[in-house]
Structure 1
Amino acid sequence: MLFSSFHGALPLVLTVTALGTTAISANPIRPTLYPVLPWEDVPIHTRGELIVRFADHVDIHDLAAFHASMETRGRLLSEALNMQRVAFDPDIDIERVAERLMASPLVEYAEPNWVGHALHVPNDPMYIETGKWNDTFVAEAFHLFPIDTERGWDSATGEGVVIAHIDTGLDFDHPELVGQLWVNEDEIPDNGQDDDGNGERDDVHGMDYVGNNKGKMIEILFPWLYDTKDGNPDVHEAGNDGWGVPDPSIGNGTDDNLDGYADIAVSHGTMTAGITFAVMDDALGMPGVAPNAKIMVLRAINPEGLALFADVIASIDYATDNGADVINLSLGWPVEGRSLRESCERAYANGVVIVAASGNAASGGVSGGVAYPAAWPTTLAVGAGTTSFTRAEYSDFGPGLDVIAPGGEVVLDSGVFKEILWSTWVASMADENDGIAEMGTPGWAGGAGTSFASPVVAGLAALFLEQHPGVAPDVVYNSIRQSAIDVGPNGWDEETGYGMANARRLLGQTQGRVAGFISPDDQKMPPGQTYISNVVIVNDDDVAHTVDFEINVYDNNHNLVGGISPIDTGTVSIDAGEVLRGAFPHPTQFGMQRGVYFISIELFENAQPIDYDDFALNFTNLQ
């Protein structure tokens, strides 16, 4: 079977998985899956509040006079940008006030404090039954394999890189994350003081800019009454940050914003963090993409999954001023805001790489366009891809898209999951009320969304920065784009950008040669059915090559499985820079034993081996 007959996009399939080496501890696995839904059609903003950037010449005396004359209150948002949150009468027409302020010589611009969304929304619990992927699920980190992370770890693991994780906070006590936290060495814990003079108190591991905001609509619309901050972005039941028990970070068991779900985003930050940072080689759970990077934790999304421009701006400002190398933003808005854009521009100008989710609004294949801030040129926009190297059905696409990465797959019309991405998780009060686990209990859960694809690429950026410390963000962006596997029409396209991000190519392990990649299509394999594996061959040399390929099946001891190996062979001619793609059917055998098998691609040139790649397939339903 020659590759020349397989040019074009790979086939979309129903169910997939990857290497089955992940162990699960006695901690409970949450039997809950997270479908992706588009945000509301009409964006909302806070009431009686504006984000105002004052002119550079405006000093503290000018600001005092401004607030006195306008009968307003201001809170510093970004000292570097001379930006404040300004509170007016809550019944005032805030957009009209913004237009009037724009005429003042004191004001550079003024705009509403828009409300954004974490880019996934939970569904009802579903219990686990091993080996069935289209209705119940196996906890496996399949997302690590289409991007070839294992081969990338031969070169880098993120050592020495700090990633600012702007999300719902995370569970500091989760065994996969407890040792991964960034530490502000100049801050003394829990003394109520700003020891390092950075403007924040007790910020040992980051900041919580949501504080006591539980996600009620009145708290969103009138944040001045509720919105506060503290130095503890841990998702926890009880602490010393002054909000009582339970702490708002763990939720309150109530559907506060009346969207049909209670505490839907409590574990969002813990899940997205696990994708990037989970510990490697601890015989527990699954490894993160950059398991030796450190997490600067910045809580900017409330338990109901809503985020304010102001809290995200404050988080980006903190990350920029306190040594973050990378920022991950698994959140987005359908509206552009100048204040958030300038915050990203400042971070970018200071050498910070910004990775952001493209959005989940592509219902029916019609995209609302890439969400903000992902759409801006200062950020790297990441859409969700599948293990068939296609765009996930829900993933936003358009002119601003850079790359795709595994994010799980959902059929939006039916809510059926095709692919589930598993990660770390923590139980909310709503989970306790539903009998799943006591609040604060760590575990693992599955989900889908561009929220999950973004931290995959943030992890790849950390691997690259370990190899190339101090390079400009554009170097990182262009390297990730250029090393992606082109999975759509030749070159950039609006559905998959530059293609599927790839660790092995990013870290230079295929430079100057031809490389092969193989990924799984479906793990539910009753006897007598046909299994399909997806193969990509890439020529990263500057001259053409002719190579032979061989696809084999090995058992767990790396012995060829008799009677069906090699599955397929062929010869391909591949031009410099060309990418060839193919789908190869393999009939399963009635006599095969249950267990783990490895399907591999081996490349040869002039009868000499030049590359090898494989994935594990767990046959659990053969007999």
Structure 2
Amino acid sequence: MNYFPDRFIVRFIPGVSRRRALEIIQQVGGLTLLDEIPVLNVYTVGVDPLLLNIKMTILSNFSGVEYTEYDGILATQLTPNDPLLPNQWGLLKINSTRGWNVTRGSTFVKIAILDTGVQTNHPDLVDKIVLNKNFSNSSTYEDLQGHGTHVAGIAAATTKNEIGVAGLAINPRIINVKVLDDTGSGAYSDVAQGVVYATDNGAKVINMSLGGTFFSTTLQDAIQYAKDNGVLVVAAAGNNNSDDLFYPAAYPHCLSVAALNRNDTKASFSNYGSSWVDVAAPGVDILSTLPTYENRTGQTNYGTLSGTSMASPFVAGLAALMLSLDPSVNNVQNAIETTTVPLNGTGSLYERGRINTYTALLKIKG
């Protein structure tokens, strides 16, 4: 694909005012104004990738519209060739392909995936995993459940390798820290151990697509330890459709992530509450890596899962790209939060809106 699937360009004939142009765009519906070039009477609009062609056709039939066209991707930078990329609506929604023209990240930045383990020889992950550790009661750090492999792929599957999916953090590496057993459950103390281990072994980002409603001072202290040592901790807000505090996401030093559907509205299951949920990211029907062998998800190789567990690694992957440009956790978290796309519910369901890879990277690059 040599054009952005979630945006296109429309040019109006000379004499059509800006006000009229915006009225027409609004009348079509489902379009978001992204940018404009007044001297050319050109506007760039965002659109659901599934509706790209039909919205272009509808708009082109309006009186006063000179043409609509795809917003092409310049070929001077990375062009992903992962065959499943067109189906990765979440990755495309957060403006990742454009963001990769700013940076692909550094191999020195490591994302710790604290989860059910990660399949270490998965074709789309084998080149990314640099360290494995098991704190669960399972006998192996391999992923027999499926959840951790899926989360890892969202954050950092190998990109531009002509197979499978693309991961957001192209160059950063993965530390596989298994803290949940093969049924997907685990102890707070095991998770706390995992946080400390990841911090001590060079992680710059920790992703925790896990949680519970029990408050643990030990886990909070472990996250404080990570923050004090320059690690950005990202956590899923939980899937109870509730504003009750959910940990570790609700701890002050966690970047808490809610889940969105394709329409940029809160996923039906996602927890919410602007007092403790920081940002939002795609989390419904997210395509990613799954173990190549039988696992509890019932899918193998690649498949879709839904949850705030899927939203969190998008933020972790973005953070890894940003930390490649600026090592300051505070600067990166601030840039993530202040470049989000405002949504209905911003300020009530979540403190900020949906993450935007491109604008966040531009801001941190300076």
Inter-partner Cα distance in structure 1 for 2:245 and 2:334: 19
Aligned pairs (5 A) from 1:407-422: 407-408=283-284, 420-422=285-287
Q: Does 1:168 align with 2:116?
A: yes
Aligned match for 1:268, one of 136, 147, 152: 147
1:22–1:140 CA contact under 8 A, matched in 2: no
Do structure 1's residue 290 and structure 2's residue 169 form an aligned pair?
yes
Give the match for residue 505 of structure 1: 359
CA drift at 1:428: 5.4
The answer on whether the counterparts of 2:81 and 2:162 sit within 8 Å (CA) in structure 1 is no
Q: CA deviation at 1:329?
A: 0.3
Deviation of the 1:445 alpha carbon: 1.0
SS of the residue aligned with 1:405?
Answer: strand
Task: Kindly provide the CA deviation profile for residues 355-378 of structure 1, in whole angstroms up to 9, marking residues without a partner as x.
Answer: 00001110xxxx243411111110
> Partner of 1:508: helix, strand, or coil?
helix
**Which residue matches 1:446?**
304
Structure 1 Cα separation of the partners of residues 226 and 259 of structure 2: 25
Q: How does 1:53-452 map to 2 (within 5 A)?
A: 140-159=87-106, 160-182=108-130, 205-212=131-138, 233-235=141-143, 250=144, 266-362=145-241, 367-398=242-273, 399-408=275-284, 420-427=285-292, 429=294, 443-452=301-310
- In structure 2, the residue corresponding to 1:383 is in which secondary structure? strand
Distance, in Å, in 2 between the alignment partners of 1:3 and 1:504 is 27
Deviation at 1:211, TM superposition (A): 4.0
| Contact 1:504–1:510 (8 Å) recurs in 2 | no
Q: Is the 8 A contact 2:335 2:363 kept in 1?
A: no
Say whether the 8 Å CA contact 1:17–1:140 is kept in structure 2.
Answer: no
Residues 1:157 and 1:511: Cα distance change in structure 2 (over 3 Å) = closer
Taking the aligned partners of 1:343 and 1:321, their CA distance within structure 2 comes to 11
Aligned-pair identity in percent equals: 32
Higher share of residues assigned helix: 2
Q: Name the SS of the counterpart of 1:348 in structure 2.
A: helix
- Equivalent pairs counted in the alignment come to 300
Question: What RMSD, in angstroms, separates the aligned Cα atoms of the two structures?
Answer: 3.0
Bigger-Rg structure (1/2): 1
Indicate how the Cα distance of structure 1 residues 466 and 209 shifts in structure 2: closer, same or farther if over 3 A, else same.
same
Cα deviation per residue 1:178-233 (whole Å; 9 max; x = unaligned)? Answer: 00012xxxxxxxxxxxxxxxxxxxxxx131011437xxxxxxxxxxxxxxxxxx62
| Contact 1:290–1:459 (CA under 8 A) maintained in structure 2 | yes
Counterparts in 2 of 1:485 and 1:330: CA distance versus 1, 3 Å: same
Q: Compute the displacement of 1:154 (Å).
A: 0.8
Q: What one-letter code is carried by the residue in structure 2 that aligns with 1:400?
A: W
1:430 deviation in Å? 5.7
SS at match of 1:307: coil
Q: Which runs of 5+ in 1 are unaligned?
A: 25-137, 183-204, 214-231, 236-249, 251-265, 409-419, 437-441, 513-623
What amino acid does structure 2 have at the position aligned with 1:494? S
Amino acid at match of 1:375: A
**Which deviations, in whole Å up to 9, do the C-alpha atoms of 1:406-436 show, x marking residues without a partner?**
111xxxxxxxxxxx2110001555669x8x7
Q: Label 1:352 to 1:431 Cα distance change in 2 as closer, same or farther (>3 A).
A: closer
Q: d(CA) in 1 for partners of 2:190 and 2:202?
A: 19
Query: Quick one: distance in 1 between partners of 2:365 and 2:197?
Result: 37
Q: Normalised by the size of structure 1, how large is the TM-score?
A: 0.45
After superposition, residues 551-562 of structure 1 pair within 5 angstroms as none
Q: How far apart in 2 are the matches of 1:325 and 1:332?
A: 20
| Alpha-carbon distance, 1:309 to partner | 0.4
> For residue 141 of structure 2, what is the amino acid of its counterpart?
P
1:417 aligns with none
Structure 2 spans left out of the alignment, 5+ residues: 1-20, 32-47, 53-79
Q: Normalized per residue, which structure has more strand?
A: 1
Deviation at 1:17? 4.9
Q: TM-score w.r.t. structure 2 length? A: 0.75
Residue in 2 that maps onto 1:64: none
Measured in 2, the distance between the counterparts of 1:21 and 1:285 equals: 9
Give, in angstroms, the shift of residue 139 of structure 1.
8.1
**Structure 1 equivalent of residue 71 of structure 2:** none
Shift of 1:337: 1.1
Query: Does 2:325 align with 1:467?
Result: yes
Measured after TM superposition, the shift of residue 280 of structure 1 is 1.1
Mapped to 2, the partners of 1:351 and 1:177 lie a distance apart of: 25
Once residues 365 and 199 of structure 2 are traced to their aligned partners in structure 1, the CA distance between those partners, rounded to angstroms, is 33
SS at match of 1:422: strand
For 1:430 and 1:152, how far apart are their aligned partners in 2?
A: 33
* 2:315 aligned residue: 457
